[in-house]
């Protein structure tokens, strides 16, 4: 039986060569020298409640119940907290290390039972521009065969001044934490099962990467991850940080085309790395999947763009108990 999933994610482009260089070790950075005057005036400080308010869980799941997006996050352009030393200049800077350094492995989710060997992973740092308009240094772990291709992706995003909120190695504490529905960490390797599945996620193989997941949420039926990102289900919004929407149906994965670009279609049975765009060879499949995608998106809740709406009393009480409404 085929299943259909609407999701927004960036896939990895495998490569066959690897470069080993010295990497930066994560530390705490004093950011007081970076004055507010340097930041993009459209950006704002991170709300004090961010990441602190666990959500009610869906029955029988570890995922939270989807909630309306708090007004502070409807147009999310938050300042980036520097964990790694920011770059000295505005140019793109990167480093690669294979396998990941022991200090990085120690704070990651990798363990012996993960479906990928440690020697098959790599660690990279890259510079990126935040929604605050400043340049920062991010880090990620990914499969070593894809690492140079992923670094190249971030080089291109850097050149386009595509904003990213944060980019840190996912820790086991992050995985074990109760869902707060407001995370936005760009990351790749996470040793975890796929959502509501007994099989390993592609992230557990180092074979997928999520960029600005709050701006580009995972959607399946009434499941939204992150759970507070419902305002970003409207993919027609003109806000920074959005990536392409994709739909998976059986063997095929379809990416809706962005401005001035052609659609992308990949045969996931024979092209898991999503290298060969088959849209020209199968226009009938593209048309069918676009129709399915449009129908699914039309079923999403209406986006309120920060305007006040009347919520059911039960939901208002639930949000009030979590601190989202007064």
Residue 127 has pLDDT above 90, yes or no: yes
Q: Lowest mean pLDDT: which of 94-108, 181-195, 267-281, 294-308?
A: 294-308
Count of structural domains, the chain: 1
Residue 78: pLDDT band by 50, 70, 90 thresholds?
very high
Residue 85 has pLDDT above 80, yes or no: yes
Tokens representing 207?
């074979």
Predicted confidence at residue 103, as pLDDT, reads 97
Q: Which residues contact 105 (CB under 8 A, 6 or more apart)?
A: 99, 118
The larger pLDDT score, comparing residue 214 to residue 297, is at 214
Distances (CA, A) of 310 to 69, 228, 297: 14, 17, 23
Q: Which three-class secondary structure state does DSSP give residue 279?
A: coil
Q: What is the bridge-based pairing of β-strands 135-143 and 121-129? A: antiparallel
Predicted confidence at residue 96, as pLDDT, reads 98
d(CA 128, CA 136): 5
Predicted confidence at residue 258, as pLDDT, reads 60
Q: What is the bridge-based pairing of β-strands 218-220 and 135-143? A: unpaired
d(CA 303, CA 299): 12
Backbone angles phi, psi at 219, to 5 degrees: -135, 130
Share of the chain above pLDDT 70, in %: 76
Predicted confidence at residue 241, as pLDDT, reads 77
Strands of the sheet with 246-249, listed across from one edge: 223-225, 218-220, 4-7, 246-249, 252-255, 264-267
Residue 10: pLDDT band by 50, 70, 90 thresholds?
very low
Per-residue pLDDT of 137-178, as tens digits, reads 999 999 999 999 999 989 989 998 999 999 999 999 999 999
pLDDT, average across residues 100-119? 97
Q: Which residues contact 129 (CB under 8 A, 6 or more apart)?
A: 135, 136, 158, 161, 162, 163, 164
d(CA 321, CA 325): 8
Q: What is the bridge-based pairing of β-strands 121-129 and 4-7? A: unpaired
pLDDT, average across residues 234-242? 76
Domain extent for 208: 4-322
Q: Is the pTM of this model over 0.95?
A: no
């Amino acid at each position: 039986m085929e299943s259909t999933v609407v999701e927004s994610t960036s896939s990895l482009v495998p490569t066959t060569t690897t470069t080993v260089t010295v990497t930066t070790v994560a530390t705490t950075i004093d950011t007081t020298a970076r004055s507010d005057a340097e930041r993009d005036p459209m950006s704002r400080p991170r709300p004090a409640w961010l990441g602190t308010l666990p959500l009610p869980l869906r029955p029988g799941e570890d995922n939270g119940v989807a909630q309306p997006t708090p007004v502070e996050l409807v147009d999310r352009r938050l300042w980036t907290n520097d964990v790694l030393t920011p770059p000295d200049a505005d140019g793109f800077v990167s480093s690669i290390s294979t396998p990941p350094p022991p200090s990085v492995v120690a704070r990651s989710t990798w363990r012996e039972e993960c479906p990928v060997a440690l020697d098959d992973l790599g660690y990279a740092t890259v510079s990126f521009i935040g929604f605050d308009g400043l340049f920062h240094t991010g880090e990620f772990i990914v499969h070593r065969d894809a690492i140079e291709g992923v670094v190249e992706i971030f080089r291109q995003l850097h050149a386009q001044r595509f904003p990213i909120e944060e980019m840190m190695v996912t820790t086991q504490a992050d995985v074990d934490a109760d869902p707060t529905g407001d995370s936005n960490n760009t990351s790749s390797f996470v040793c975890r099962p796929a959502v509501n599945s007994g099989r390993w996620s592609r992230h557990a193989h180092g074979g997928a990467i999520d960029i600005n997941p709050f701006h580009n949420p995972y959607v399946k039926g009434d499941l939204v991850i992150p759970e507070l990102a419902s305002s970003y289900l409207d993919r027609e919004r003109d806000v920074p940080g959005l990536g392409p929407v994709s739909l998976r149906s059986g063997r095929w994965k379809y990416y809706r085309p962005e401005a001035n670009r052609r659609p992308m279609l990949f045969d996931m049975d024979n092209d898991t790395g999503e290298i060969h765009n088959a849209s020209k060879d199968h226009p009938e499949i593209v048309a069918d999947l676009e129709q399915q995608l449009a129908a699914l998106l039309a079923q999403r809740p209406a986006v309120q763009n920060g305007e006040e709406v009347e919520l059911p009393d039960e939901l208002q009480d639930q949000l009030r108990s979590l601190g989202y409404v007064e």
